[in-house]
A and B are shown apart, each in its own frame.
Chain A
Amino acid sequence: MTISALRAAVESVREAEAGPNGLNAFLALADPDTDSGRGAEGGSAQAGEDGDGGRVLAGVTVALKDNLATLDLPTTCGSRLLEGYRSPFEATVVRRVREAGALIVGKTNLDEFAMGSSTENSAYGPTLNPHDRTRVPGGSSGGSAAAVAAGYVRMALGSDTGGSVRQPAALCGVVGIKPTYGRVSRYGLVAFASSLDQVGTFGRTVQDAAKLLEVVAGHDPRDATSVVAPVPGLTAALRRDPEGVVVGIPDEFFPETLDSAIRVATDRAVSALRDAGCEVRSVSLPHSHLAIPCYYVLAPAEASSNLARYDGVRYGLRARGRDIVEMYERTRHHFGPEVKRRIIIGTYALSAGYHDQYYGAAQKARALIAGDFRRVFAGGVDVLFTPATPGPAFPIGERVDDPLSMYLSDVFTVTANLAGVPGMSVPIGKVRGLPVGGQILAPWWHEERMVALAALLERGLVGVDT
Chain B
Amino acid sequence: MSVDRREVERIARLARLSLEDSEAERLALELSRILAHATRLGELTPRPPDGGQIERGDGSEATAESDGDGPSAFAGTRDSGAEIPERLAAPPESFAPKMSEGFFVVPPPPGVTAQDAGRSDPRR
Quick check: is A23 within 8 A (CB to CB) of the other chain?
no
Residue on A nearest B52 in the bound complex, by CB:
A375
The interface residues of chain A lying within 8 Å CB-to-CB of B62 are: 367-368
Asked whether B57 lies within 8 Å of A344 as measured between CB atoms, the reply is: no
Assuming the A-B contacts A296-B38, A344-B15, A361-B41, are A375 and B30 also in contact, with contact meaning beta carbons closer than 8 angstroms in the complex?
no
The interface residues of chain B lying within 8 Å CB-to-CB of A290 are: 40-41, 44
Assuming the A-B contacts A290-B44, A340-B27, A348-B31, are A358 and B14 also in contact, with contact meaning beta carbons closer than 8 angstroms in the complex?
no
CB distance from A358 to the nearest CB of B (A): 6
The interface residues of chain A lying within 8 Å CB-to-CB of B39 are: 293
Asked whether B38 lies within 8 Å of A293 as measured between CB atoms, the reply is: yes
1/0 per residue, CB under 8 A from B, across A335-347: the answer is 1010011011101
| Complexed CA–CA distance, A287 and B111 (Å) | 49
Give the residue of B35, B55, B103 whose beta carbon is less than 8 angstroms from that of A324.
B103
CB distance from A391 to the nearest CB of B (A): 19
The interface residues of chain A lying within 8 Å CB-to-CB of B34 are: 296, 345, 403-404, 407
Asked whether B16 lies within 8 Å of A329 as measured between CB atoms, the reply is: yes
CB distance from A336 to the nearest CB of B (A): 11
Give the residue of A296, A331, A340, A374 whose beta carbon is less than 8 angstroms from that of B23.
A340
Quick check: is B33 within 8 A (CB to CB) of the other chain?
yes
| Complexed CA–CA distance, A290 and B16 (Å) | 30
Quick check: is A461 within 8 A (CB to CB) of the other chain?
no
The interface residues of chain A lying within 8 Å CB-to-CB of B41 are: 290, 293-294, 297, 358, 361-362, 365
Quick check: is A261 within 8 A (CB to CB) of the other chain?
no
Quick check: is B75 within 8 A (CB to CB) of the other chain?
yes
Asked whether B27 lies within 8 Å of A341 as measured between CB atoms, the reply is: yes
List residues of B (37-94) whose CB comes within 8 Å of A's CBs.
Answer: 37-42, 44, 46-49, 54-59, 62, 67, 69, 72, 74-75, 78-82
Quick check: is A366 within 8 A (CB to CB) of the other chain?
yes
Give the residue of A312, A318, A345, A356 whose beta carbon is less than 8 angstroms from that of B31.
A345
Quick check: is B21 within 8 A (CB to CB) of the other chain?
no
Asked whether A367 lies within 8 Å of B58 as measured between CB atoms, the reply is: yes
Residue on A nearest B117 in the bound complex, by CB:
A314
Asked whether B80 lies within 8 Å of A352 as measured between CB atoms, the reply is: yes
| Complexed CA–CA distance, A358 and B3 (Å) | 14
1/0 per residue, CB under 8 A from B, across A76-89: the answer is 00000001100010
Quick check: is A54 within 8 A (CB to CB) of the other chain?
no
CB distance from B94 to the nearest CB of A (A): 16
Assuming the A-B contacts A358-B41, A367-B57, A404-B33, are A348 and B3 also in contact, with contact meaning beta carbons closer than 8 angstroms in the complex?
yes
Asked whether B79 lies within 8 Å of A329 as measured between CB atoms, the reply is: no
Residue on B nearest A374 in the bound complex, by CB:
B55
Quick check: is B17 within 8 A (CB to CB) of the other chain?
yes
CB distance from B92 to the nearest CB of A (A): 9
The interface residues of chain B lying within 8 Å CB-to-CB of A340 are: 17, 19, 23, 27
The interface residues of chain A lying within 8 Å CB-to-CB of B49 are: 284, 286, 375
Asked whether B72 lies within 8 Å of A360 as measured between CB atoms, the reply is: yes
Residue on B nearest A334 in the bound complex, by CB:
B121
Quick check: is A317 within 8 A (CB to CB) of the other chain?
yes
Quick check: is A355 within 8 A (CB to CB) of the other chain?
yes
Assuming the A-B contacts A367-B57, A371-B55, are A333 and B17 also in contact, with contact meaning beta carbons closer than 8 angstroms in the complex?
yes
List residues of A (162-208) whose CB comes within 8 Å of B's CBs.
Answer: none
Quick check: is A276 within 8 A (CB to CB) of the other chain?
no
Asked whether A332 lies within 8 Å of B18 as measured between CB atoms, the reply is: yes
Residue on B nearest A359 in the bound complex, by CB:
B41
| Complexed CA–CA distance, A250 and B56 (Å) | 19
Quick check: is B112 within 8 A (CB to CB) of the other chain?
yes
Give the residue of A304, A344, A348, A355 whose beta carbon is less than 8 angstroms from that of B78.
A355
Can you offer 30 A-B residue contacts whose CB atoms are under 8 A? A88-B112, A287-B47, A289-B40, A296-B37, A297-B41, A304-B15, A311-B16, A314-B109, A324-B103, A324-B104, A330-B18, A332-B17, A332-B18, A340-B23, A343-B17, A344-B27, A347-B11, A348-B11, A352-B82, A356-B72, A356-B74, A360-B74, A365-B41, A368-B54, A370-B56, A374-B57, A374-B59, A403-B33, A403-B34, A404-B33
Binding site for A on B (CB under 8 A): 3, 7-8, 11-12, 14-19, 23, 27, 30-31, 33-35, 37-42, 44, 46-49, 54-59, 62, 67, 69, 72, 74-75, 78-82, 102-104, 109, 111-112, 120-122, 124
Known: A318-B124, A340-B27; 12 extra A-B contacts, CB below 8 A, are A88-B111, A308-B15, A311-B16, A318-B120, A324-B102, A328-B16, A332-B18, A344-B15, A347-B14, A348-B35, A356-B72, A367-B62
